Amino acid sequence: MVVVLGLDPGSRITGYGIVAETSGRLSLLEAGTIRPPAKRDMPFRLGEIYKGLSEVIARHSPQESALENVFVSKNMQSALKLGQARGAALAACTVAGLSVAEYEPTKVKKSIVGVGNAPKDQVAFMVARLLGVTNPGWAEDASDALAVAICHLNQRRMNRLAGL
Amino acid sequence: MVVVLGLDPGSRITGYGIVAETSGRLSLLEAGTIRPPAKRDMPFRLGEIYKGLSEVIARHSPQESALENVFVSKNMQSALKLGQARGAALAACTVAGLSVAEYEPTKVKKSIVGVGNAPKDQVAFMVARLLGVTNPGWAEDASDALAVAICHLNQRRMNRLAGL
């Protein structure tokens, strides 16, 4: 069995999803969001992202983590903010000994629904379906995190088949 | 006595400096840099920044930390990279319970040499002088971190005098 943590870091909301694969079957272990108190300053909130993810990791002991890569942002300020959230989240992963894989957003969509430009709700629908969940109560950010976890498991399987 | 951790986070080099103030007298406890192996990927290096700073904090138990704020960067990519390094560093501070203060770069320079547009080597010279170190062997990033620690201690003293 391999357990993967999918991540969607953000300064306000960080989505996460834990997916296990056993003999080619996916199963959902946990999905949720970390929402640090908006009234606290940014450094405190970064610490909450780190601690929140560390707790999720301690609960499920994933061996690997995955997230979308980012090359652009609205502006310099949002790039710095997003970078900070990613930094806190990635530090939590690697300090806990997890590997980290990054995927293009189009690659994630393609892996889930077959096309790279699929609308968000279609991706969310397929994520729930692939995990066998009929009425998912999870937030959009949690669904996005699950999507990249599933993408990573698909990629692992393909690498294995290709003998990589 | 108050002990302050000054920080200068960067994806390649993170400078730090620990300065104590006892009855208005400054003393240097430690200054150095964290340089994660350049060959490893960015997530691993962010974990090294987090762990390195956590060790420094464990050695000296500072109560407060300080760093320069950043609003601009060369381009989006460098903003994301710098943000990530800052995120890992700030998470290490707040998870350890430290407060974090941010200062304008011009404010730091002014606090050390009296003018906000002083050249870097003049700031470095005064930092060494204020700490009573004649031949500082520390790197530029460590000196920059010490500068913001001293700036923070000056600000604290002024706030105290002003009854804030």
- Global confidence as pTM: 0.95
Alpha-carbon distance of A141 to A8, in angstroms, equals 6
Question: Contact A91/B94, CB-based, under 8 Å?
Answer: no
B 120-149: CB under 8 A from A: none
CATH topology of domain B2-161: Nucleotidyltransferase; domain 5 (3.30.420)
Q: Does B50 touch chain A (CB under 8 A)?
A: yes
How many CA atoms are closer than 13 Å to the CA of B2, on its beta-carbon side? Answer: 19
Alpha-carbon distance of A41 to A57, in angstroms, equals 25
Three-class SS of residue A99?
A: strand
The pLDDT value given to residue A74: 86
Alpha-carbon distance of A106 to A108, in angstroms, equals 5
User: Rounded to whole angstroms, what are the CA distances from A115 to A108, A120, B19?
Assistant: 9, 12, 55
Average pLDDT over residues B97-116: 96
Question: Contact B90/A43, CB-based, under 8 Å?
Answer: yes
B134: left (phi over 0), alpha (psi -120 to 50) or beta: alpha
Residues of A carrying an active site annotation:
8, 68, 141
Helices marked H in B61-139: 76-95, 105-113, 120-130
Alpha-carbon distance of A13 to A34, in angstroms, equals 6
Of B70, B80, B90, the CB nearest to A70: B80
ipTM of the prediction = 0.93
User: Taking 80 as the threshold, does the pLDDT of residue B86 lie above it?
Assistant: yes
User: Taking 90 as the threshold, does the pLDDT of residue A147 lie above it?
Assistant: yes
Nearest to A91 by CA among A7, A1, A4: A7
Alpha-carbon distance of B109 to B119, in angstroms, equals 9
Nearest to B43 by CA among B88, B110, B13, B86: B88
Q: Are A133 and A28 in contact (CB under 8 A)?
A: yes
Contacts of residue B65, Cβ cutoff 8 Å, sequence gap at least 6: B4, B5, B6, B7, B93, B98, B99, B100, B101
Q: Give B-chain residues touching A100 at CB under 8 angstroms.
A: 41, 43-44
User: Taking 80 as the threshold, does the pLDDT of residue B45 lie above it?
Assistant: yes
Average confidence score pLDDT of chain A: 95
Alpha-carbon distance of A18 to B122, in angstroms, equals 52
Q: Does B91 touch chain A (CB under 8 A)?
A: yes
DSSP A135: S
The residue to which tokens 């150095």 are assigned: B32
Give me the percent of chain B exceeding a pLDDT of 70: 100
* pLDDT tens, position by position, B130-142: 999 998 889 999 9
